[in-house]
Chains A and B, each alone.
Chain A
Amino acid sequence: MNGGADAGQSAPPLIELVGVTKTYGQGAVALQALRGVHLVVHEGEFVAIMGPSGSGKSTAMNILGCLDVPTTGSYRFRGVAVETLSRNQRALLRRNYLGFVFQGYNLLGRTSALENVELPLLYRGESPAARHAAAHEALAAVGLTGWEHHSPAELSGGQQQRAAIARAIVTHPAVLLADEPTGNLDTQRGREIMDLIVALNRDRGITVLMVTHEPDMAAYAHRIVHFVDGRVESDIRQPEPA
């Protein structure tokens, strides 16, 4: 990653938000969720995003995850202005570079953990054998070996979140975006998930952007970005944890 920083003088950063605003609705009911966000994230970083409820964290994450586009301003992913891309091109960005973990898990019901994890690979057109192997590997990485054939209803909250993480990393994405991944879990389960994310960042070099409102969880990150009222209020680099 340090090597990347040297070359980074000329190469564009992995993620760059330039004066991004997002307005929901129009006219009198218009609501400005983001009011000019600037943010640069480099390859390999682990960034925690904090802030009060309604400060625009999820809105920013959706834009970073290419699920949504800024109203004004620019989001450059590896130098490419995402807002200029078509719906399908953004879908391809999600498919090939991004893994998204939602607070509400968002697994397909009545579908086994294995099939859930295979889903992104299905759209990448990989063979059944390759899909199976990769999904089994991802499930093993999150510690769900033996639960492959259980449906979400048969899994605990922590296990569902692990399955969701497995689905996000099964494609070996460049970036893992996690919106309050531990929000629905007790402290113990939360720590396990955090250990998992830290390991993915450290061992696989996956860039992580994670929203959380728990300082305990944010402490795992290299950097803590504070959102207040649709703006970045502070951006603090943490000393490397021992």
Chain B
Amino acid sequence: MLWNTLLLALREIRRNLTRSFLTVLGILIGVAAVITMVTLGNGATAAVSAQISSLGSNLLMVRPGQRLGASRDTAGAAPFKLADVVAIESQVGQLSSVAPVVSRTVTVVHLANNWSTSVVGSSNAYFSAGSWKFAAGRMFTEAEQQTGKAVCVLGETTRSKLFGSENPVGSAIRIKRFSCQVIGLLVAKGQSSMGRDQDDVIVMPLRTVQRRLSGNQDVGMLLVSVRDGASTSQAKQQIEALMRERRRIAANEEDDFNVLDTREIAEMLSSTTRVLTLLLGAVAAVSLLVGGVGIMNIMLVSVTERTREIGIRLAVGALEREVLLQFLIEAVVLSSIGGLLGVLVATVGSIMLAQLMQVPYVFSLSINLLAFLFSAAIGVVFGYFPARRAARLDPIEALRHE
């Protein structure tokens, strides 16, 4: 019985190919839109999550000035000194490292190649705080850091711009008027969540940058790495208290520095992408619903158009529920075909779009299954009303219809 009805429904779909195709198209677009949106959104979320782990664990950024953002005002705030680093290291517990950071944008030259990049002056703590790994060479020695020797470690982007495919370790590059020996090469990290190329960097000892590039004793920023398992918020509070004391900030005054928890930023970013994914998915779901209304419309038209046919079926002895089932199955088959094609189109589309937008393609079985089942359900829901109308037709009225 069910098999026969399915056969009947398929026969009907085949009899009206154009109409069937248009119905299928509506559902196809809806399903494909939902899956593509959610898949791309998941890809973006995954990219941000990957970023969280590449940022290094439990990292605090201490900067002069009041807060993060465009209105951040560093002009009035005193810069940090190396003594601040020493003070934090000795007075705040549960830290694994504190790295001072001074950075400058400069043009570096090797043979015929030159490249403008940011030079970071710091200590070996910088590498652990940022979870950097070495592809070749070594970190700084104590002596190099003390004397401010002209040695440097290259990021992968800087290396490729200056050295092409060569190994840079042991070679020298020119920065302004001094020559600097390359002692190490970092493993590539890729883009940050803000879209900045993290590998476009050169790291030197703090003293080297202070003497030869910035010309003062200032430290621009402190990177504080909290020990695994320890509380970052507690460390943050301790650092804030210590810095207020060292900078002699009165109780009624605001901080003239800020401590940022990088994980907080990353989590904020990833929750933003999640919300965005949800929103895009919801918009796409509306289009799926519109596809459902399309099915209802076409099924209603088809009931009117096929009134005489329904009359004939009833006249030769079709039961009410058999006619109902036939129309319902027709709607479900149409919407399921739309759903299936939608899944295919979405897969191809998201793989291509993911590549274009440079987010990873993350296949999610649940969203594919959900969208497909939803499309079938739409067939049932929106097919039911027209089907019932068909089944309740009076056979004689139906036969007289033309």
Contacts and interface: CB of A to CB of B under 8 A. Distances in A.
B396 A67 contact: yes
A92 B396 contact: no
Contacts of A68: 396
Most buried by B among A67, A102, A109: A67
A96 B320 contact: no
Contacts of A39: none
4 closest A-B pairs (Cβ-Cβ)? A95-B317, A120-B316, A94-B317, A123-B318
A111 B317 contact: no
Given A106-B399, A108-B309, A108-B312, A123 B15 contact: no
B1 A95 contact: no
Contacts of A226: none
Interface residues of A, number: 27
Contacts of B11: 111, 115
B322 interface: yes
Interface of B: 1, 4, 8, 11, 15, 308-309, 311-322, 395-396, 399
B4 to A, nearest CB: 6
Nearest to A115: B11
Interface of A: 62, 65, 67-68, 87-88, 91-92, 94-96, 100, 102, 106-111, 115, 119-120, 122-125, 167
A167 to B, nearest CB: 7
A119 B323 CA distance: 13
Nearest to A125: B1
B345 to A, nearest CB: 30
B11 to A, nearest CB: 8
Most buried by A among B15, B318, B320: B318
B317 A123 contact: yes
B15 A110 contact: yes
Given A108-B309, A111-B15, A88 B320 contact: yes
Contacts of A125: 1, 4
Most buried by B among A106, A122, A167: A122
Contact of B320 (A87, A95, A106, A122): A87
Contacts of A111: 11, 15
A120 B317 contact: yes
Contacts of B321: 88
Contacts of B317: 91-92, 94-96, 120, 123-124
Contacts of A88: 319-321
A92 B15 contact: no
B320 A91 contact: yes
B316 A119 contact: yes
Given A108-B312, A122-B4, 8 more contacts: A62-B396, A67-B315, A94-B315, A106-B308, A106-B312, A110-B15, A120-B316, A122-B8
